Amino acid sequence: MPRHSGCFVPIPMNTRFRLCFAALKTILALAVCLPLASLAFAAKSEPVWRFHLGPGAAPSGWTKVAAGAKYDDGAGFGFESTDGLMQVDHGAGFTTADRPFYFSVALPEGNYRVAVTLGDADGESDTTVKAELRRLMLSNVTTTRGEIVRREFVVNLRRPSIPGASGNERKNVALKPREQKEEWWAWDEKLTLEFNGSRPCVSAIEITPADRVPTVFLLGDSTVCDQPREPFASWGQMLTIFFEPSIAIANHGESGESYHGALAAGRLAKVLSVARPGDTVLMQYGHNDMKVVDVPTYKANIKKFVEAFRERKISVVLVTPPHRRTFDKDGRITNSHKGYPDAVREVAREEKLPLIDLLEMTRAFYEAMGPEASGAAFKPGDGTHHNAYGAYELAKCIVEGIRAARLPVAKHIIDGLPRFDPAHPDAPGSVKIPPSATSPGDTPDGS
C-alpha cells in the first residue's frame, strides 16, 4: 500500500537513546513553537500547534500531553478516551496503546497540515493514522528499532455554518439526525486524529494552517461520504491516502443524499461558500435520485450544480454512480441504475466536462472477482455499501479516472503509485487497513 514520503532517522544501537532524543529535539526546533493555551506566531505569521506525547518534560514552546489528558473544552486538546494509554520513556518518549486511540484539538474550519513523529528508539512500531471520520491519512507506517519517522498530511475541517448567507438563505447545513450523533466528528469544533495499528508509537504532533493548498471537494451519497462505523467505508474516505500533502480533500457527501436533497439541505451552498476559484469538485449522485426524480429532472439538477460551480470558477468533474452487486445468471453485472448513468454522460458531453465512469469501472471490478468473491468488497448481506477493501479499490478507480482525464489535480497524486486496472484488482488480503474502534452501526441511508 502507498506510503507518504518521510524522513527516516536511523540511530545506532550503542547510542540510540542519546541520539534519538537529540534527533527529536532537532525536529521540534525546526520552527517557532506555541502551546495551545498561548498562541504564538512563526516567522511567516502562521499559527503553529505543537504537542509532545512523551512522558518527560516537553521541550520549550511545546505543549506536554500526559497520558491522562482527556479532551477538555477549556484546554482545547486531549485524548477522547484515556483507557489503555501508555507513555513509554524510550528516547524522546511516545504514547502507545493496544487499541486505537484518538487525540483532538479545538480548531476553526479550514485546511490544516499535520505532521506526526512516529517510532520507538528501543523497538519496532506500526502506525496507521485516520482523521475525523476514519479518513485514511497514513497507512501501515512501520519503523524498525531506532528509527524515527516524521510524516505529513493535510486534513480539511468543516462546520455546519454557511458563511455569507443572508436574508432568507439557509444559514447552516440541515444536518440529518445521524450527522448530529455518530457523524458529529465530521462537523464539530475540533480536529480528531485516530492512531491505529499493531503498535502505534506517537511522539509528537504539529499542526499548521494550510490555507494555500488547493482543495478537491466531494459531493455524493453513502458510497462517497465519510462512513462513521465499521465495517462500512466509502471511496471518499480512502481517497486521501493517494494524495501528497500538497492538496486537501473535503468530503461533503452524505448517506441517502441526492442532487435535489443536497440542494435543499444547503450542501451545495456550503461548498460554494468555502471553495475558491481553481478548486475542484467531484460530484457523484444517482443511487437515491432514481428513487425520487425522473431522468430529465435528474439531468436538469446536475446542470444546476454545474452552473453554480462554473460561476465561481470551480472545476467540475462528473462521476457516474458505482454499480450495485447485481449479477445475472451468466455472471455479468446488470445495470440497476437504468438511464441515470447515461444522463451523467450526456451532461458531461454537452457541458464539455471531464467524466470518471465509475459505473463501468465497478462493472469490470466486480466481474473480475465474480458473483461470490465480489462479496469481499461489501458489508456482508449488502450489495450497495462497501467495506474498507471495496472502498479502497473504488478510490483507486477514482485516482485512475483523474489520471486518464489529465486533470490538474493529478499532479498531487503520490509519487510512484502504479496505474490501476479495475479488471485486475488487488487481492482482498493485500489491503490491510486496521479497523477503527467503532461498534457496528446501522446500514447507511440509501441503497
- Residue identified by cell 460561476 is 311
Q: How far is CA 259 from CA 30, 290, 293, 338, 443, in A?
A: 46, 11, 10, 17, 21
What CA–CA distance (Å, rounded) separates 284 from 222? 10
Residue pair 284/252 in contact (Cβ under 8 Å)? The answer is no
Largest CA distance in the chain: 72
Strand order in the sheet with 315-319: 248-251, 215-220, 280-284, 315-319, 355-356
Q: Which of 373, 370, 424, 372 is nearest to 396 (CA)?
A: 424
Q: Which of 342, 257, 343 is nearest to 292 (CA)?
A: 257
Q: Which CATH superfamily is domain 214-430 in?
A: SGNH hydrolase (3.40.50.1110)
Which CATH code is given to the segment(s) 7-177? 2.60.120
Per-residue model confidence (pLDDT) at position 28 = 40
Residue pair 250/158 in contact (Cβ under 8 Å)? The answer is yes
Tally of CA atoms within 13 A in the half-sphere of 166 that contains its CB:
1
Residue type, 28: L
342: buried, middle or exposed (CB in 10 Å: 19+, 13-18, 0-12)? middle
Q: What are the pLDDT tens digits along the chain (447 aa)? A: 544 443 333 333 333 333 333 444 444 433 333 334 333 334 455 789 999 999 999 999 999 999 999 999 999 999 999 999 999 998 889 999 999 999 999 999 999 999 999 999 999 999 999 999 999 999 999 999 999 999 999 999 999 999 999 998 999 999 999 999 999 999 999 999 999 999 999 999 999 999 999 999 999 999 999 999 999 999 999 999 999 999 999 999 999 999 999 999 999 999 999 999 999 999 999 999 999 999 999 999 999 999 999 999 999 999 999 999 999 999 999 999 999 999 999 999 999 999 999 999 999 999 999 999 999 999 999 999 999 999 999 999 999 999 999 999 999 999 999 999 999 999 999 999 999 998 666 678 765
Cell numbers standing for residue 293: 426524480
349: buried, middle or exposed (CB in 10 Å: 19+, 13-18, 0-12)? exposed
Q: How many CB atoms lie within 10 A of CB 383?
A: 16
Cα dihedral: 339, 345, 351, 353 (round 10): 150
Per-residue model confidence (pLDDT) at position 40 = 37
Question: What are the boundaries of each domain within the chain?
Answer: 7-177, 214-430
Cell numbers standing for residue 55: 512522558
What CA–CA distance (Å, rounded) separates 29 from 370? 54
Residue pair 335/323 in contact (Cβ under 8 Å)? The answer is yes
Per-residue model confidence (pLDDT) at position 45 = 58
